[in-house]
Chain A
Amino acid sequence: MAATPAQILETAARLRARIGDDLHDRLTEAIYTDAEEIANRAVSRNGQARGVHLDQFFDRVLTSRIWGFPAMVLMMMIVFWLTIAGANVPSAMLADLLQGSVYDALHGVAQTVNAPWWLKGFLIDGVYLATAWVVSVMLPPMAIFFPLFTLLEDLGYLPRVAFNLDRLFKRAGAHGKQALTMMMGYGCNAAGVVSTRIIDSPRERLIAIITNNFSICNGRWPTLILIGTIFIGATAPPALASFIAATSVVAVAVLGLVFTLLVSAVLSRTWLKGEASSFSLELPPYRPPQLWRTLYTSVIDRTLIVLKRAVIMAAPAGAVIWLISNIYLGGDSIAGHLVHLLNPVGVLLGLNGVILVAYLVAIPANEIVVPTILMLTLNVARSGLAQTGVMLELKDDMQVHQVLTELGGWTLLTGVNLMLFSLLHNPCSTTIMTIWQETRSLKWTTIATLLPVVLGIAVCLITATIARLMIGLI
């Protein structure tokens, strides 16, 4: 008669007691001994290990006390500078094409078919124009940044960054691999959230998910770069403008890192308290990145996919913007009403009503914040320019500056606070959905969504107050 499961387990326990508790150790040792033997028989050395010494040299430099951190900052700055400087000309060219020639052509077509003004406006000035903006402003930086980031990834540099930063993460009570998921978030926060699967412990995984938003995703780079260029870079002599602009963007990124650590530290000591789980980080050998393959996959995989999402988000958002700008209730457009309603709060925060409304509309995706701000500014200022498509001329950064400051009443404070708010606001809707899918918890998804906004409001309030106290003006 066969033994029951319970009996089998009893027998096993009895035998285990006789054999000894360290069976697992002995078995593992046996496996390793065997593996060693086999490997020794199969592997032999053949002359110089060419790659090894170079690898070790790089590692010693990139993780040294003196050069480690400066190297990281330098790397970040190079990436950003290449992105900013490299994207200028292509962006201008695309804008010429999409917001110039194609836009005119579309209006021409609409004219010939005698389309009603509202249809023209809705489709061309609303839907099309927002999408065209997104493509011409967002595509060139993305097409440069993603491949650069991917090359660094392929090279094997990222674990070294995690290695350098680990002590900070440890002190913040976070898992060592959070450095890696954080870096992934610089590409796209939704991807960063998914990548937290490499962290086993649910508690530490949640911390990584919630703080991932402080990694500035590619959708937010253009906003930061634009504002950094026209408000902060513009304050410097032309030769240094790009450099100063890049520095300001890097500064915000570093601030993001600071917030990641701070919030992790607070979370791990309050809501998400618990034991630190076991950690080990493998430093793979440096592998020469395959240039063409990388360019190809990062264009297909990353840029086009993000672009597609931007277009999908921009089109309806453009529609919404046009609608709220052109539907009039009691003497003012819906947009106008919203802006005036939110303006007091906005100004208090060192922003304005337009920015707040823009962020409401931009919950779907971060890329459309700037075009929305522009369109709303033009619209609310009742600028006749808004209807006749002066967006054409806004392909020039300095004219954007002009519109914002003259029509929108922006100051340096507004620019700075917009950059801060860009860092500290709710995740985009794709990310929120992803957080929900990964956590299946309404509670944590809500926290992950609202926490950054609350922080953003607090920080903006503080900077605005300090700035005003210093200047002594409103």
Chain B
Amino acid sequence: MSAQAEAVAAKHCGACSSCNTSELARLGIKVGGWDYMVALAGNPNTGKSTIFNALTGLRQHVGNWSGKTVRRAEGAFNYNSKKFKLVDLPGTYSLLSTSVDEEVARDFVLFARPDVTVVVTDATQLERNLCLAMQVLEITDRAVIALNLVDEARRNGLVIDERALSRDLGVPVVPMAARRGEGISDLLRVIENVAAGAYPTRPRRIKYADAALESAVESLAAQLVAAFNNLPNARWVALRLLEGDASIVRAVRDGTLGAFKQPDGVVNLVQLEAR
């Protein structure tokens, strides 16, 4: 969004009736067709569940300790007459599979290819949270950063320039204080824009600055693309193979790489867990 458009939006959105929260119809969990699928990723204890509840209208209690979300929740909501399916991924510090949680989260983003992946970040611990965000950006283009807990950042005397952040990352950044309900409508608007393709993102790709590595990745990626159709992100897979990531190696050997998508585009999380 250009600076001008943003300014206009900021000035008028509050009074506008076409995208305020009354348009938000909360459906709870619904099985069936939807227009867009949204995934919620992020570090543990960043308020992911609070945001999930706010968007879907569910009332699951949210505590204040790491790893509290133990169920993979699915929900849905309506916005601007479109149906959105929301999947709450387990809280993880990174996507580089050291545990089942991380595999589930990673596989979902990689194979289920949600239309938008929202990475919920803790504004008071930006550095560590950005690591996960950047890993997500390596896998998918369509991401939004929900910069949560800004009220706490304020309390701690921190000021975050979300424009600079957005510029650096190449994706929209939405400041929020979800437990106070702040930022939810902004988040919805941005999610819809990204999902509909109205907000072209140019995610930052990590610079590796290593010529040998680059050429290795390129050649491997080319082979992967030729061997597997429907491959989500050949470059990412190539990197994981070079790292020796056990589960990706296994997936290549089994030939199951890229075979996760079910006909209607749904990936059953339970199946993933059982794998």
Contact = CB atoms under 8 A, between A and B. Distances in A.
Whether chain A touches chain B in the assembled complex (some CB pair under 8 Å): yes
A18 B216 contact: yes
B130 A47 contact: no
> How big is chain B's contact interface, by range?
35 or more
Interface stretch (A27-35, A91-99, A104-112, A408-416): A27-35
Q: Is the interface of B mostly helix, strand, loop or mixed?
A: helix
A28 B135 CA distance: 10
A43 interface: yes
Interface residues of A, number: 66
A9 B253 contact: yes
Contacts of B66: 159, 281-282, 284
B130 A150 contact: no
A9 B157 contact: no
Contacts of B13: none
B127 interface: yes
Interface in A45-87: 45-52
A35 B156 contact: no
Contacts of B160: 42-43
B65 A150 contact: no
B65 A180 contact: yes
A28 B243 CA distance: 11
A5 B131 contact: no
Contact of B255 (A5, A21, A34, A287): A5
B227 A3 contact: yes
B63 A38 contact: no
Interface string B202-232: 0010111110110010011001101100000
Contacts, number: 176
A280 to B, nearest CB: 9
Contacts of B244: 16, 21, 23-24
A266 interface: no
Contacts of A284: 45, 64-66
B156 A38 contact: no
Interface string A262-289: 0000000000000000000110110100
Interface string B151-190: 0100111111110110011000000000100000000000
Contacts of A290: 179
B207 A30 contact: yes
A27 B227 contact: no
A270 B213 CA distance: 49
Contact of A155 (B64, B99, B124, B216): B64
A27 B243 contact: yes
A21 to B, nearest CB: 8
Nearest to B238: A12
A15 interface: yes
The residue in A15, A155, A302 that gathers the most chain B C-beta atoms within 10 A of its C-beta is: A15
Contact of A42 (B63, B164, B208): B164
B34 to A, nearest CB: 27
Given A35-B131, A43-B160, A51-B155, A15 B220 contact: yes
B250 to A, nearest CB: 10
Given A12-B220, A290-B179, A200 B206 contact: no
Contacts of B100: 200
Nearest to A196: B70
The 6 nearest A-B residue pairs measured at CB = A35-B130, A49-B157, A12-B241, A197-B70, A2-B226, A198-B67
17 contacts: A11-B220, A12-B249, A15-B216, A18-B212, A18-B216, A23-B242, A28-B96, A31-B206, A36-B127, A39-B126, A39-B127, A50-B157, A51-B155, A52-B156, A150-B61, A180-B65, A200-B100
Interface of B: 44-45, 59-61, 63-68, 70, 96, 99-101, 124, 126-128, 130-131, 134-135, 152, 155-162, 164-165, 168-169, 179, 204, 206-210, 212-213, 216, 219-220, 223-224, 226-227, 238-239, 241-244, 249, 252-255
Given A5-B227, A15-B242, 14 more contacts: A12-B242, A18-B212, A19-B213, A27-B243, A39-B126, A42-B162, A42-B168, A45-B157, A46-B157, A153-B65, A198-B68, A282-B45, A284-B64, A301-B59
